[in-house]
């Protein structure tokens, strides 16, 4: 099978599509024939060496939509099941940017019925991250939340989930994204600063750090998206960062929200798997709205 990997770190040109063996599922694992697999900022980070460990093959890709093709012992999944999954982990010899991927059975959920695989592939990583970041914040209905990077993948899902939970959401995004983020459920919009201490919490998907923390009231909460890089707590503002975990049961709830029309899946462009380096180059140019999706 073909798979997108890096063996040396660098720019988009470091991405190679190689021929390699089809991976075999072990106990409590399933193999998915990949129909579509999204390209995320973390893949650019892996490619450029953010996660270290050069000198051996690292497979790219976390998000997958496809069909179960083989199962190890002790899984309830069956060949032919249409699924989505999170292939968790920055350093792995093969990832989801491939024709087949093996994942733990408990990282898998039934695919949404109302969207195609290309759209479904944009769900797992970023919707799980948004949901788990909101868990960290632990807000109650009626409380106020500022989401930075609200037009991005994590931010967009966070706006939708938070508004659905009855939070009063302010979206921080580029001027041209106001209509989009309001359509996702933001009650308020800003392109820059809000008043200091004016919200109960921030979900900082744009990684603004201390500047974003300053907008939280005394005793509020800050959730970042870069583990180990959350600002130090000040004024009683609790700080932390989400580190996404693969959670098939939670993913199934998010799939249900897609099928109810409560979560919007946004695709910018599709690329053939063989053109993975071109997709990385497009992502590096910036300004992409919706995800770039690779199709094997």
Ligand X SMILES: NC(=O)c1ccc[n+]([C@@H]2O[C@H](COP(=O)([O-])OP(=O)(O)OC[C@H]3O[C@@H](n4cnc5c(N)ncnc54)[C@H](OP(=O)(O)O)[C@@H]3O)[C@@H](O)[C@H]2O)c1
How would you class 278 by CB atoms within 10 Å of its CB: exposed for 0-12, middle for 13-18, buried for 19 or more? Answer: middle
Question: Which is closer to ligand X, CB of 81 or CB of 189?
Answer: 189
Beta carbon nearer to ligand X, 55 or 286: 286
Smallest distance from the beta carbon of 65 to ligand X, in angstroms? 17
Closest separation between CB of residue 92 and ligand X, Å?
Answer: 15
Shortest Cβ 70–ligand X spacing (Å): 28
The residue whose Cβ lies closest to ligand X is: 152
Q: Which is nearer to ligand X, 129 or 144 (CB)?
A: 129
Binding footprint of ligand X on the chain (CB under 6 A): 40-42, 125-126, 129, 149, 151-155, 172-174, 205-207, 225, 227, 242-244, 286-287
Token pair 């989401």: residue: 147
Q: State the minimum distance, in angstroms, from the CB of residue 296 to ligand X.
A: 22
Name which of 25 and 124 has its Cβ closer to ligand X. Answer: 124
Name the residue with tokens 């053109």: 275
The minimum distance between CB 171 and ligand X, in angstroms, equals 9
In the complex with ligand X, the residue whose CB is nearer, 261 or 287, is 287
Residue among 52 and 227 whose Cβ is closer to ligand X: 227
* Smallest distance from ligand X to CB 11, Å: 17
């Amino acid at each position: 099978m073909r798979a997108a990997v890096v063996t040396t770190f660098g720019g988009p040109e470091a991405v190679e599509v190689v021929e390699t063996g089809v991976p075999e599922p072990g106990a409590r694992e399933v193999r998915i024939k990949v129909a579509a697999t999204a390209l995320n900022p973390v893949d650019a980070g892996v490619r450029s060496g953010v996660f270290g460990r050069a000198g051996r093959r690292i497979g790219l890709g976390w998000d997958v939509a496809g069909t179960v093709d083989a199962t190890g012992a002790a899984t309830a999944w069956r060949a032919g099941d249409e699924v989505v999954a999170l292939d968790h982990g920055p350093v792995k010899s093969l990832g989801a940017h491939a024709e087949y991927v093996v994942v733990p059975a408990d990282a898998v959920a039934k695919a949404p019925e109302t969207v195609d695989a290309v759209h479904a592939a944009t769900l797992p990583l970023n919707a799980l991250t948004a949901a788990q970041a909101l868990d960290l914040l632990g807000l109650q209905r009626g409380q106020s939340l500022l989401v930075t990077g609200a037009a991005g993948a994590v931010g967009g899902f966070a706006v939708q989930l938070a508004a659905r939970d009855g939070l009063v959401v302010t979206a921080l995004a580029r001027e041209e994204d106001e209509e989009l983020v309001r359509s996702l459920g933001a009650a308020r919009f800003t392109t820059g600063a809000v008043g200091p201490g004016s919200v109960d919490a921030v979900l900082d998907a744009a990684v603004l750090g201390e500047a974003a923390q300053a907008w939280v009231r005394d005793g509020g909460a800050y959730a970042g998206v870069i583990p180990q890089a959350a600002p130090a707590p000040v004024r009683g503002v609790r700080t932390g960062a989400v580190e996404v975990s693969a959670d098939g049961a939670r993913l199934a709830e998010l799939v249900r929200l897609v099928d109810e029309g409560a979560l919007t899946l946004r695709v910018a462009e599709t690329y053939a798997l063989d053109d993975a380096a071109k997709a990385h180059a497009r992502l590096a140019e910036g300004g992409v709205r919706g995800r770039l999706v690779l199709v094997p």
